[in-house]
A and B are shown apart, each in its own frame.
Chain A
């Protein structure tokens, strides 16, 4: 239904119940759902009769509430994460937190809550950022207990789909693992190649395990090259060290709400401080390609000048219309290679 047919006040009332905070007054919701750009709209500026939607309510925008709400969402989410990942470094918790509270994730939640229909803004369609900002602003007007519920009800469930090995991609996991294990009294850490197969094939596999003191296998993984396999095994070992295994049980709903999360306000240990000074604790930069791509132009020129001159144009080039899937003139291969008088004699 277009906004011209819906009743903004009824929608706000329903939204309050949907998000689980019916006690908040309508004006506060309106303030949280008003984007800064709304007042630049032509119909609002010129005070048109029945400007859309609900222009007569309120003159404040949510700029301040967004900052406030963002902070409070992050506080509660980090408390929840620290409760579950007690042994993980603060850097990991930060990266999970920033992933779950980025514009994309929050805009997805906001869309399903129907915030997109309610936000008062100049832009159409509403951008991801404004949508996410409106959600953050809601945390700005809620009481502390309600923000906790908001985080547990809507943000935390996304953890079921998060791959912890990918969300905190250390650039040099083996060095970090070595430092952490040495702090625990292990003297020697070595990666060992357990198995390998198909080294010269298109799909080689190398299985590497990290051994502590030549006795204990602390992490094991397969990879398509030895370096990749070592990295993967080290990541696996780190996750095991931090008790992030696939059999962990996350709390949701009432079970999560009944945990005294306030106790987990103190940040966990910092990985940078725990590692030796020279260790690389930075993350992989995915934006930079590690290897230059193959030179396509060179390959084409080589084909044209050398290969083509030698073997000539192939059937698929010369008789393209006979090979094309969509052509009625398509001929089978047997038909094309059938001996003809001029090919035989």
Chain B
């Protein structure tokens, strides 16, 4: 270890950057994966796996959910593959895989059937993008007619041939009526 620790070396930066997974990104712009919904909406959830134990008490909600609801949900969503995977003595979990390659997992330990159902539907309706604080992007449905404004966008063309400074372009312009203008316009009788 050198006596003076370095903070601008590649290794510590790289090590720190490895930890910057999506969990640490707090804000992002609103995105839809693969232009979904512009022409047709396809569910971005591709497969969902329910892991549970057949015996343990912590899986009871998941077991009830599988028994009562999962077939109906599968019938309504033919584009999603649902796997039910019994694993002995494990904490129950629901793992969802999305079109963008991300995986989301919810620990369903000690959940009731209603809670499992709620989380299951949450995973169904998500796009797979991480949940972040959304930032607004400056956008408009119709782009500006004049194009991007530059300092020379609305300069009068008469200025082209004039040698500056010229009197007519040096006048102060104001929307408010000055006292002089008011008196000139409303002459006392």
Contact = CB atoms under 8 A, between A and B. Distances in A.
Interface of A: 1, 5-7, 10-11, 13-15, 17-20, 22, 108-109, 111-114, 117, 152-154, 156-158, 160, 194-195, 197, 205, 207, 222, 246-247, 252-253, 256, 324-329
A14 B80 contact: yes
A228 to B, nearest CB: 15
B151 A157 contact: no
B39 A154 contact: yes
Interface of B: 4-9, 33-36, 38-40, 42-44, 46-47, 49, 78-81, 83, 85, 95, 97, 99-101, 142-143, 150-152, 155, 157, 160
A326 B12 CA distance: 11
A114 B38 contact: no
B142 A246 contact: yes
B155 A195 contact: yes
B79 A253 contact: no
Given A222-B150, A253-B40, A256-B39, A327 B81 contact: no
Q: Which of A18, A19, A160, A328 has the most CB of B within 10 A?
A: A18
Contacts of B79: 14-15, 17-18
B4 A325 contact: no
Given A6-B81, A14-B46, A14-B47, A20 B40 contact: yes
A330 B143 CA distance: 49
Contact of A109 (B34, B95, B157): B34
18 contacts: A1-B49, A1-B95, A1-B97, A14-B47, A18-B43, A20-B40, A109-B34, A111-B99, A111-B101, A112-B33, A152-B39, A157-B35, A197-B151, A197-B152, A247-B142, A252-B38, A325-B7, A326-B9
Given A17-B78, A108-B34, A113 B97 contact: no
B31 to A, nearest CB: 12
Contacts of B150: 205, 222
